[in-house]
Amino acid sequence: MLKVIAEDFIKPEFVEVVTPLYRELVDRTREEQRCISYDLFIDQKDAGHFVFIEEWPDHQALETHCQTEHFRRLVPLIDEYRRAEGSYILMEPFPAAGSQVG
């Protein structure tokens, strides 16, 4: 399982412009066959700080997502309004008690 946090920083005056773009991105991504979850949140202290929390079965599913029509069309449109470079973290679950570590 692959967990992803992806953060976008949008100029505050363009939040209303990107909102429908994000909505379409979320809706279409959730329709992807190998998407487990794809949720978007907004920082309570910064209305232009958008945070995706995603779950994919593996890296291949994430790579497929990044090649979809909706991703390739919508992400560059959103990026036109960013105020800083986005960032992302790829993560694995903390091992449960009793599982092999290392």
| Interface residue list for a second copy (CB under 8 A) | 3, 5, 16, 19, 22-23, 26-27, 39-45, 49-51, 53, 89-95, 97, 101
**Is the Cβ–Cβ distance between 11 and 83 less than 8 Å?**
yes
Min CB(66)–a second copy separation in Å: 16
**Is the Cβ–Cβ distance between 101 and 15 less than 8 Å?**
no
Min CB(82)–a second copy separation in Å: 16
C-alpha 70/C-alpha 27 separation (Å) is 10
Identity of the residue, 42 or 64, whose beta carbon is nearer to a second copy in the bound complex: 42
Min CB(73)–a second copy separation in Å: 18
**Is the Cβ–Cβ distance between 28 and 68 less than 8 Å?**
yes
